[in-house]
Amino acid sequence: MAVPLSWYMLLSLAVFSIGVFGFLSRRNIIIMLMSIELMLNGVNINLIALSHYIQDLRGQILAFFVIAVAAAEAAIGLAIVIAMFRNRATAHVDEIKEMQG
Amino acid sequence: MANMELQWYHVLIPFLPLTGFIINILLGREVTRYKAHWFAVSSVFGSWLCALATLQDVLAGKIIDADLYTWIISGTFKVGVGFLIDPLTAVMLIVVTTCATLIHIYAIGYMHGDTGYYRFFAYLNLFTFCMLMLVMGNNFLQLYFGWEGVGLCSYFLIGYYFNKKSAADAGKKAFIVNRFGDFGFGIGVFMVFLTFGTLHYADVFANVNSIAGKTVDFLGFNVDLPTLIALLLFCGAVGKSAQIPLHVWLPDAMEGPTPVSALIHAATMVTAGVFLVARCNPIFNLSEIAMNTVAIIGALTMFFAATIAITQNDIKRIIAFSTCSHLGYMFLACGVGAYAAGIFHLYTHAFFKALLFLAAGSVIHAVHTNNIQFMGGLKKYMPITYAVFVIAGLSAGGFPGLSGFFSKDEIIWSAYASHSSVGKFVWILALAGAFFTPFYTFRLIFRTFFGEYRGGLAAEEAATHAHSSSHSSSHDSHSSGHDPHGHGSSSHGSGHDSHGGHGPHESPYIMTVPLMFLAIGAVAAGWVGIPPLLGGGNHFAHFLQPVVGHPEFHATHAEEWGVMILSTTIALIGLGLSAFMYLRKTDLPERISKQFSLLYKILYNKYYVDEFYNLTIVQPTLKLANKILVGFTDAKIIEGIVNGVPNLIGIFSQKLRRLQTGIAHHYAIFMAAGAVFIVALIILLS
Amino acid sequence: MVSIGFFIYFAFAIVVLSLLVVTRKNPVHSVLWMLLLFFHIAGLYLFLNAEFMAAIQVIVYAGGILVLFLFVVLLMNLREELSIGKYTTFGPTGFTFALGLFVAVSMSLSSFIAAPPGKYSIDLIKQETHIKALGKLLYTEFIYPFEVASLILLVAMIGAIVLAKRRLKS
């Protein structure tokens, strides 16, 4: 008996939601970035599962691009973290209020 | 007529000058600077060579009508950038590129050392490009593009000395006056599209007979469709070619540098109107009213401009009025159906009028004033300029054997022999014009080159000071405005320094050599159109016949001889009278002007047309603008909106800025809330 | 049955590891849990006949991105992190919204309609091998996005250097 598609979708949703939770609640910016990676991975699971079940490789291609963009995003994000840490000596997002209107 | 594919050299004709323009306008300030003429002249020269190759194709009986690029597609509306090269275009190409090349070369000397050197050549190149696009276009929209393009360049170049108020004003005047004409022209193009559903010449002219006799509702009036279209198109021609009542801009346009006057305001741009009428001849032929309007406006302009030219003192203005007058001749010819004669005159006129202007520029270059009252006796200082000036003057005056003679005679004969109901009327005016043209041209020559040298700029400045308090009838505000070039070039490196007591000098070779080439044109250009009566074949008219047709004349050879002898005699009388008044009895002009002081004043003030327009159009517009636009619309509505909107935004943003807490989590939560909301909405709605 | 068993194990591990990642106080621990998590996700991909994606997951994520994270964490030397609360004041709100999202989307799962199957059946992929099929698609139909992705990576690289570089005192 094969695993139903909806199980995979539920799993991907769970990973994504955990990512959302982490992003919304943690104060450490590195953990927030990791939460973003979690969300992207949740999406990737969904894409690849669908690609398998619909028998169309384009889902995997999309996942491939997601990984590429995630790598770029991580590099830039962490560079920003370093620049910010150098200026403010903190990694806590709630201490940064420069953008206040 | 065989059709032919578009060749590379056809395409290069307009785009070479465009390249020159782009190079000079982008790199001129930093790189090309005083070497700007290398690109400018070589590009125009290249397009001249291409034009010669094209002429050869056309002479071999080929016609090219090809689209280069589709510009706009919108429903049934489709226009491309395309070229139509037929005999008419070929003639225009030769005229434009030849004059442009020689004048570009001349400008190297004339503009030498000017701070805007590269700018000048860039605009001149751009002008050449636009003019070539105008004459080569195969549809009305491209014609309109070129039309507006040359107008824009004309504005740039009239106002070239933009820190001089009179020049800047003259540029604006030219632009605004042209707008009146172009408005009509634009509507005319719309009408063409509405009527024919296409803007391509070939399609329009092929179906032109289908609109004959149709009427259309225009502003509540039931008017004849061909008449309406023809008159609207002619509106543009009136503006661009400085015909009554929109002629007022051309004399003021003389504020531009002299090469500009020669190229744009004599040889090429102002003749675009004639080209338009000739190009649209199938439409004009359908409407007798339109044809008569063209003929009468041409004749009147020719006559009035010629009479004004008699009294003017500014050397360039005299030639400008002469241009007006000759353009009138061309329209007159088109109006009586002799399009070939009109185009023939356009072609010869380009040479002798460009020559007159450039020679005048050479004179101005030497004496630094535009006022002929302070010239005189230049014959011995500037022999080359003198010689070419006389050649140009004879050609313009219609002296037998020269270019101007053949074309002018052709026009006068066409006016006499045509079936046009106004033919005889315009013929009389044309004869009068034949008298005035040599008269004022030689008045100019005698005043400039004969007698004693009357001091140039220094004398004029002294006179201006002396007269400044008293009433000065010999000076209006325009004629004292000499070419600013005179001031800027006092120490430029042409090797000639005309200051310091001794008399003026001949211009450098870079200026006189183009004059000589143009002089050859002024003499010989007309020989391609010698009428059969004098043993020629009138090849020119036969060449153009496929495009503009040939008017049918019913007149005997005796009549033709009679008309020719009559017009020549009249021209010679004009020349003789001029010689008598300005060489022999030099006090006679003064006495005549005293005797007929009213007439003299009217002529001197150009029939008060400028004043009339000022009173009826400019002042009311200004008043209206001040009262309504400035006082109410601007102060209350526009200012109210302009100030009110920011205030409103300020109030709102003061409230809204509280949303911008600067805390990243707030934004993140808003995003998540939005996502949840959208998903919930999808579930609830599905 | 075996496959379901395996799936249940992997799914359970992934969820638990994800939770561990977002709830650890020490970022170093988070990163290490995440490493384990990515291996499990790669294992899941193998079930889905996506060997290449599994390999990429291990190489790029575990080998590249996580090492980057680890470096930054070590570089910043966050000692005080351990002494103060790990959640912001929005912790409960965040939890609510994440839960809300989970519930809302899982409710909509039942209305999912799969698209008609494409031509890349498991047999075809097995016959052609996964990497070849993927590569063919990537270098023909998706060549432009592929090139754009390379450009994005280049921009990211330059951007990261510019941002992280210490400003030179002028």
Q: Is the pLDDT of residue C170 over 60?
A: no
Q: Is the pLDDT of residue B62 over 70?
A: yes
B534-539 long-range contacts, Cβ below 8 Å, gap at least 24? B538/B410
Separation in Å, CA of C36 to nearest CA in chain A: 13
| Residue A28 tokens, joined | 């450490």
- As a whole number, the mean pLDDT across chain A is 87
Interchain CB contact of A98 with B (< 8 Å): yes
Contacts of C98 in chain B (CB under 8 A): 672
Q: What is the pLDDT of residue B558?
A: 85
- C-alpha to C-alpha distance for C159 and B121, rounded to whole angstroms: 45
Amino acid at residue number B427: W
Among A69-83, B450-464, C142-156, the least confident range: B450-464
Separation in Å, CA of C163 to nearest CA in chain A: 6
**Neighboring chains of A (3 or more beta-carbon pairs < 8 A):** B, C
What confidence category does residue C81 fall into, taking pLDDT thresholds of 50, 70 and 90?
low
Contacts of B686 in chain C (CB under 8 A): 108, 111
- Tokens 């001197």 label which residue? B604
Separation in Å, CA of B187 to nearest CA in chain A: 53
- In this structure, the strands spanning B62-74 and B77-85 are antiparallel
Q: Is the pLDDT of residue B489 over 50?
A: no
What confidence category does residue B148 fall into, taking pLDDT thresholds of 50, 70 and 90?
very high
- C-alpha to C-alpha distance for B542 and C72, rounded to whole angstroms: 88
- C-alpha to C-alpha distance for B301 and B350, rounded to whole angstroms: 18
- As a whole number, the mean pLDDT across chain B is 85
What is the chain B residue with the closest CA to A32? B665
Interchain CB contact of C140 with B (< 8 Å): no
pLDDT in tens, B307-366: 998 888 888 999 999 999 999 999 999 999 889 999 999 999 999 999 999 999 998 888
Q: Is the pLDDT of residue C60 over 70?
A: yes
Contacts of A63 in chain C (CB under 8 A): 53
Q: How many CB atoms lie within 10 A of CB B644?
A: 10
Which of A9, A20, A30, A98 is the best substitution to test chain B (most B C-beta atoms within 10 A)?
A20
| Inter-chain CB proximity A100 and B669 less than 8 Å | no
- Give the closest residue to B269 by CA, choosing from B370, B196, B357, B350: B350
Q: Is the pLDDT of residue B297 over 90?
A: yes
- Give the closest residue to B146 by CA, choosing from B203, B189, B204: B189
Q: Is the pLDDT of residue B590 over 50?
A: yes
What confidence category does residue B130 fall into, taking pLDDT thresholds of 50, 70 and 90?
very high
At what angle are helices B225-240 and B288-311 packed, to 10 degrees? 20
Q: Is the pLDDT of residue C16 over 90?
A: yes
Separation in Å, CA of B42 to nearest CA in chain A: 52
Interface of B with A (CB under 8 A): 656-665, 668-669, 672
Q: What is the pLDDT of residue C134?
A: 87
What's the mean pLDDT in B7-27? 90
Q: What is the pLDDT of residue A57?
A: 86
| Residue B435 tokens, joined | 């008298």
Q: How far is CA B215 from the centre of its chain?
A: 33
Q: What count of CB pairs under 8 Å joins B to C?
A: 29
What's the mean pLDDT in A93-99? 75
What is the chain C residue with the closest CA to B670? C97
Query: Judging by beta carbons within 10 Å of its beta carbon (0-12, 13-18, 19+), is residue B541 exposed, middle or buried?
Result: buried
Q: What is the pLDDT of residue C151?
A: 93
Nearest by CB to B683, which of C88, C90, C107? C107
Q: What is the pLDDT of residue B469?
A: 46
Contact of B477 with B314, CB cutoff 8 Å: no
| Inter-chain CB proximity B661 and A97 less than 8 Å | yes
Distances in Å between the Cα of B583 and the Cα atoms of A20, B84, B391, B452, B523 are 103, 51, 18, 11, 25
Q: Is the pLDDT of residue B462 over 90?
A: no
Interchain CB contact of C93 with B (< 8 Å): yes
Q: What is the pLDDT of residue C80?
A: 65
Contacts of C88 in chain B (CB under 8 A): 665
- C-alpha to C-alpha distance for B283 and B566, rounded to whole angstroms: 34
What is the chain C residue with the closest CA to A40? C61
What is the chain B residue with the closest CA to C88? B665
Contact of B32 with B38, CB cutoff 8 Å: yes
Q: So what's the ipTM on this one?
A: 0.89
Q: Which of A37-46, B112-121, B189-198, B399-408 has the highest mean pLDDT?
A: A37-46
Nearest by CB to C106, which of A13, A34, A80? A13
Q: How many CB atoms lie within 10 A of CB B268?
A: 28
Q: Is the pLDDT of residue B563 over 60?
A: yes
| Inter-chain CB proximity B672 and C90 less than 8 Å | no
What's the mean pLDDT in A9-36? 90
What confidence category does residue B488 fall into, taking pLDDT thresholds of 50, 70 and 90?
very low
Nearest by CB to A61, which of C7, C110, C138? C138
Omega of the bond leading into B245 within 30 degrees of 0 (cis)? yes
Q: What is the pLDDT of residue B659?
A: 78
Of residues B468 and B576, more confidently modeled: B576
Residue B167 CB contacts under 8 Å (≥ 6 apart), including other chains: B158, B159, B160, B161, B255, B256, B484
Q: How many CB atoms lie within 10 A of CB B500?
A: 6
Residue B220 CB contacts under 8 Å (≥ 6 apart), including other chains: none
Q: Is the pLDDT of residue B613 over 80?
A: yes
Q: How far is CA A88 from the centre of its chain?
A: 25
Distances in Å between the Cα of C72 and the Cα atoms of A30, C20, C65, C164 are 8, 20, 11, 11
- Partnered with residue B85 across adjacent β-strands are B64
Q: Is the pLDDT of residue C154 over 90?
A: yes
Contacts of B671 in chain A (CB under 8 A): none
Q: What count of CB pairs under 8 Å joins A to B?
A: 33
| Inter-chain CB proximity B672 and A20 less than 8 Å | yes
What confidence category does residue B456 fall into, taking pLDDT thresholds of 50, 70 and 90?
low
Q: Angle at CA A17, nearest 5°, toward A14 and A20? A: 155
Which of B655, B665, B670 is the best substitution to test chain A (most A C-beta atoms within 10 A)?
B665
What confidence category does residue B244 fall into, taking pLDDT thresholds of 50, 70 and 90?
confident
Among A12-26, B178-192, B199-213, B382-396, the least confident range: B199-213
Interchain CB contact of B675 with C (< 8 Å): yes
Contact of C18 with A14, CB cutoff 8 Å: yes
Distances in Å between the Cα of B487 and the Cα atoms of B41, B113, B455, C141 are 26, 12, 16, 69
* Cβ under 8 Å to B: A residues 37-56: none
What's the mean pLDDT in B591-612? 83
| Inter-chain CB proximity A15 and C15 less than 8 Å | yes
What is the chain C residue with the closest CA to A93? C88
Every domain of chain A and the residues it spans = 28-90
Q: What is the pLDDT of residue B472?
A: 39
What's the mean pLDDT in C17-45? 90
- As a whole number, the mean pLDDT across chain C is 86
Contact of B316 with B256, CB cutoff 8 Å: no
- C-alpha to C-alpha distance for B662 and A53, rounded to whole angstroms: 44
Nearest by CB to A100, which of B656, B660, B669? B660
Nearest by CB to B665, which of A20, A93, A101? A93
What confidence category does residue B19 fall into, taking pLDDT thresholds of 50, 70 and 90?
very high
Distances in Å between the Cα of B197 and the Cα atoms of A39, B189, B540, B635, C89 are 59, 11, 34, 45, 70
φ, ψ for residue B406 (rounded to 5)?
Answer: -65, -45
- C-alpha to C-alpha distance for A33 and A22, rounded to whole angstroms: 9
**Neighboring chains of B (3 or more beta-carbon pairs < 8 A):** A, C
Q: Angle at CA B232, nearest 5°, toward B231 and B238? A: 80
pLDDT above 70 as % of chain B: 93
Of residues B495 and B208, more confidently modeled: B208
What is the chain C residue with the closest CA to A82? C164
- C-alpha to C-alpha distance for B139 and B574, rounded to whole angstroms: 43
Amino acid at residue number B472: S
Which of B661, B667, B676 is the best substitution to test chain C (most C C-beta atoms within 10 A)?
B676
Q: How many CB atoms lie within 10 A of CB A33?
A: 23
- C-alpha to C-alpha distance for B555 and B176, rounded to whole angstroms: 44
Contact of B499 with B366, CB cutoff 8 Å: no
Q: What is the pLDDT of residue B126?
A: 93
Among A88-92, B128-132, B409-413, C112-116, the least confident range: A88-92
Enter the CATH code of domain A28-90. Answer: 1.10.287.3510
- In this structure, the strands spanning B2-3 and B62-74 are parallel
Interchain CB contact of A33 with B (< 8 Å): no
Nearest by CB to A97, which of B659, B662, B669? B662
Q: What is the H or E stretch that residue B2 is in?
A: strand B2-3
What is the chain C residue with the closest CA to A92? C81
Nearest by CB to A24, which of B657, B658, B665? B665
pLDDT in tens, B220-234: 788 888 899 999 999
> Which segments of A26-57 does DSSP mark as H helices, in order?
29-54
- C-alpha to C-alpha distance for C170 and B541, rounded to whole angstroms: 78
- C-alpha to C-alpha distance for B387 and C42, rounded to whole angstroms: 96
| Residue B160 tokens, joined | 């070239």
Of residues B276 and C109, more confidently modeled: B276
- C-alpha to C-alpha distance for B488 and B114, rounded to whole angstroms: 7
Separation in Å, CA of C69 to nearest CA in chain B: 20
- Give the closest residue to B403 by CA, choosing from B413, B395, B412: B395
Amino acid at residue number B27: L
Interchain CB contact of B557 with C (< 8 Å): no
**Neighboring chains of C (3 or more beta-carbon pairs < 8 A):** A, B
What's the mean pLDDT in A55-77? 90
* Cβ under 8 Å to B: A residues 68-87: none
Q: Is the pLDDT of residue C29 over 60?
A: yes
What's the mean pLDDT in B548-574? 84
- C-alpha to C-alpha distance for B533 and B12, rounded to whole angstroms: 40
Q: What is the pLDDT of residue B491?
A: 37
Q: How far is CA B560 from the centre of its chain?
A: 32
What's the mean pLDDT in B429-435? 90
Q: What is the pLDDT of residue B71?
A: 78
- Give the closest residue to B344 by CA, choosing from B83, B152, B540, B209: B540
What's the mean pLDDT in B98-117? 89
Q: Is the pLDDT of residue B2 over 70?
A: no
- Tokens 């050449």 label which residue? B128
Collapsing DSSP to helix, strand or coil, B300 comes out as helix
Contacts of C4 in chain A (CB under 8 A): 1, 3
Residue B215 CB contacts under 8 Å (≥ 6 apart), including other chains: B222, B223, B224, B225
Nearest by CB to B672, which of C97, C108, C111? C97
| Inter-chain CB proximity A99 and B660 less than 8 Å | yes
- Partnered with residue B65 across adjacent β-strands are B84
Could you tell me the strand order of the sheet in which B62-74 lies? B2-3, B62-74, B77-85
- Tokens 């006949």 label which residue? C49
Find the radius of gyration of the CA atoms of chain A: 17
Q: What is the pLDDT of residue B376?
A: 80
Which of C22, C87, C108, C112 is the best substitution to test chain B (most B C-beta atoms within 10 A)?
C108
